[in-house]
Amino acid sequence: MVTIPKTHLEVHPLCLGANVFGWSASESESFAVLDAYVEAGGNFIDTADVYSEWKDGNTGGESESIIGKWMKARGNRHSMVIATKVAKLSTRPGLSRSNINSALEDSLLRLQTDHIDLYYSHEDDDKTPLTETLSAYTDLISAGKISYVGASNYSGARLLEASQISQQNSLAEYVLLQMEYNLMTRQPFEQGQEGAVIALGLSALPFYGLARGFLSGKYRPGLKVESVRAEGTMGYQTPAGWKIIATVDQIAKNHNCSMSAIALAWLRANDAVSTPIASARTVEQVQEIMQVVTLSGEEIAELNVISG
């Protein structure tokens, strides 16, 4: 287990992303994935109120509702670490105090719980003063409705500014940064966010750890993949991208593990990262992402060079 810096949260080295629940994974499929994740030792689930509003017929909150039903059915809320987010749902936009309060109540109802372990600002909101947002979180922590707050998709400069305001005004402080980071997309994290995370003693939780599934190995030159996420990988399907796939594939064979495990191990090797996030639509995919391996210095260097 991993203890997230500046928190008491002890979590599995793989955070299960729940963005596929209610989208590409039905409720029954989601239950199977969640059961397999817990059976393999997992306890950390990442969702958001906006998941999965983008699917035709959805209104948002579908992922939270599925997780809430599953936790109630399994009676395991006490053993799970639940993270969700506010700001991007079209009917609950932004980070004003009133919206945070309303959105949190909605999330609590859907998740069928009385508190959230980790509550994220899903994106920066430059129309709302940071003081207002952080004050709202401070009051919610005092009320026991949330335990910690994190920032998602914040720039390094904005994260530093938020920390300064928190300290100057004795307000809740962002303890985590969630952002896109993987072997295919190393910027902007390495250009500014990483430095801020290290300077503040925080930790990073990268999402799209498998680059929308591209690094799982199911994508190969000339092979057509039937997936709702396939279109999102088109930009990776280049000569440089295939070289990365070939390198990850060879290292995976050396470790007798999945390619997903290697891509996630590369993320964990970064001192700024506490736990990468990856999603799964099937039990087989859960088994692939739950393999935890340690890369050698030479392997890390090779991946750094090929993806740089």
Residue 232: pLDDT band with limits 50, 70, 90: confident
Q: What is the pLDDT of residue 228?
A: 64
pLDDT greater than 80 at residue 297: yes
Task: Give a three-class secondary structure readout of the chain.
Answer: CEECCCCCCEECCCEEECCCECCCECHHHHHHHHHHHHHCCCCEEECCCCCCCCCCCCCCCHHHHHHHHHHHHHCCHHHCEEEEEEEEECCEECCCHHHHHHHHHHHHHHHCCCCEEEEEECCCCCCCCHHHHHHHHHHHHHCCCEEEEEEECCCHHHHHHHHHHHHHHCCCCEEEEEEECCCCCCCCHHHCHHHHHHHHCCEEEEECCCCCCHHHCCCCCCCCCCCCCHHHHHHHCCHHHHHHHHHHHHHHHHHCCCHHHHHHHHHHCCCCECCCEEECCCHHHHHHHCCCCCCCHHHHHHHHHHHC
For residue 260, is the peptide bond before it cis, meaning its omega torsion is within 30 degrees of 0? Answer: no
pTM of the full structure:
0.96
Mean confidence (pLDDT) of the chain = 96
Report the pLDDT averaged over residues 154-168.
98
The 10s digit of each residue's pLDDT in 181-210 is 999 999 999 999 999 999 999 999 999 999
Q: Is residue 222 predicted with pLDDT exceeding 90?
A: no
pLDDT in tens, 20-40: 999 999 999 999 999 999 999
Question: Which pLDDT score is estimated for 107?
Answer: 98
Does position 223 have pLDDT exceeding 80, yes or no?
no
**Structural domains of the chain sorted by starting position, each given as residue range(s) with its CATH number in brackets:** 2-214+266-292 (3.20.20.100)
